[in-house]
């Protein structure tokens, strides 16, 4: 295998601690057989040495994509499509559309992503599932149902649906909700504070380090994911790979990870539907019914998210980009 110099363009770096950064950081590690680096803007002082560009986000990395194309054409140019790319920007944003056309190949992060691309670009797209390490499944108490939602407070993640569901749950239901995420939208942060004041079974914990967040996921009985728009949420894989089943909004970005037959889903924005699912899981907590079925479905999906699978797919993509 020829050792290549790979530049990963990420609109977010470590200070953001979001999905783009986590993907960029992990891909740098998985590409250790090559020489990989992460930048926010390109070109830079090391640009002349780069062989391959992996650009995260068609719209937000469009300037870097254009600059690469001006120098090298399509050779070595790959673009990774996020949820806002797939389900918003490529329909109307000229920069995002230009990135699709200029890339030699495209990557989506979940199984239903390709079908959302314009038909003329689908043939050059591939799916690379993100990965996470398998973690110990912890024993869960039956005294209550512990639920966690992880995601910075912004509109695309729809935290208001979780807060509304919390208000619908009887205080004595035995369901405890932890909500982790920074208030990127100040209004949503205020809503989280108000919900916490009104609902003793709901706690907003703000932003936490990744290790602490994983511990909360491991201890939870369920992870809730309410997104309206998603390219392939890494937190779903983390939950699946530590034995915590998922309740998720029925959107392509979630179903493309969980499988189209996954039963733990609710319509986007449907707080009563989410509350009903939580109550059903609480009622079935000690029996071989809903929670156990969700856990078994997640176990069947877990091999898709193993690091060796992502590493192999990523190396094939880099080689294909270079061998154009």
How much is the average pLDDT of 257-276? 97
Q: What is the mean pLDDT of the chain?
A: 94
The CATH class of the 145-304 domain is: alpha beta
Q: Which two tokens stand for residue 33?
A: 């057989």
Span 45-52, mean pLDDT? 97
All structural domains of the chain with their residue ranges: 5-130+306-322, 145-304
Question: pTM for this structure?
Answer: 0.88
Sheet with 145-150, edge to edge strand ranges: 202-206, 175-180, 145-150, 222-225, 246-249, 265-266
Q: Is the pLDDT of residue 285 over 70?
A: no
Sign of the dihedral through C-alpha 67, 26, 300, 251: negative
Q: Given this model, what pLDDT does residue 2 score? A: 85
Which CATH superfamily does the domain covering 5-130+306-322 fall into? Glycogen Phosphorylase B; (3.40.50.2000)
**Residue range 259-277: mean pLDDT, rounded:** 97
Instruction: Report pLDDT for 118.
Output: 95
Total length of the chain: 324
The one-character DSSP state at 243 is: T
Say what the pLDDT of residue 100 is: 98
What is the reported pLDDT for 58? 96
Mean pLDDT of 245-257: 96
């Amino acid at each position: 295998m020829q050792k290549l110099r790979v530049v990963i363009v990420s609109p977010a770096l470590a200070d953001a601690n979001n999905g783009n950064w986590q993907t960029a950081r992990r891909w740098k590690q998985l590409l250790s057989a090559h020489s990989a680096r992460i930048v926010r803007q390109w070109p830079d002082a090391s640009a002349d040495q780069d062989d391959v560009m992996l650009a995260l986000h068609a719209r937000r990395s469009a300037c870097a994509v254009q600059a690469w194309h001006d120098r090298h054409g399509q050779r070595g140019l790959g673009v990774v499509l996020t949820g806002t790319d797939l389900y918003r920007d490529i329909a109307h944003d000229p920069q995002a559309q230009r990135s699709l056309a200029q890339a030699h190949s495209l990557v989506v992060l979940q199984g239903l992503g390709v079908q959302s691309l314009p038909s003329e670009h689908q043939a050059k797209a591939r799916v690379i599932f993100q990965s996470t390490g398998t973690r110990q499944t912890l024993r869960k108490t039956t005294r209550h149902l512990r639920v966690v939602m992880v995601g910075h407070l912004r509109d695309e993640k729809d935290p208001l649906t979780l807060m509304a569901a919390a208000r619908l749950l009887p205080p004595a239901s035995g369901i405890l909700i932890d909500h982790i995420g920074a208030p990127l939208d100040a209004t949503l942060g205020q809503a989280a504070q108000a919900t916490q004041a009104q609902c003793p079974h709901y706690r907003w914990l703000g932003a936490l380090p990744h290790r602490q967040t994983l511990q909360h996921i491991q201890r939870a009985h369920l992870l809730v994911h309410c997104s309206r728009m998603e390219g392939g949420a890494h937190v779903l894989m983390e939950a699946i790979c530590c034995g915590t089943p998922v309740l998720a909004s029925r959107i392509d970005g979630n179903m493309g990870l969980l499988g189209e037959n996954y039963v733990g889903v609710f319509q986007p924005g449907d707080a009563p539907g989410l509350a009903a699912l939580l109550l059903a899981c609480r009622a079935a907590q000690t029996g071989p019914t809903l929670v156990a079925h969700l856990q078994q479905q997640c176990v069947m999906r877990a091999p898709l998210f193993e690091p060796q699978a992502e590493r192999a797919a990523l190396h094939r993509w880099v080689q294909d980009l270079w061998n154009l």
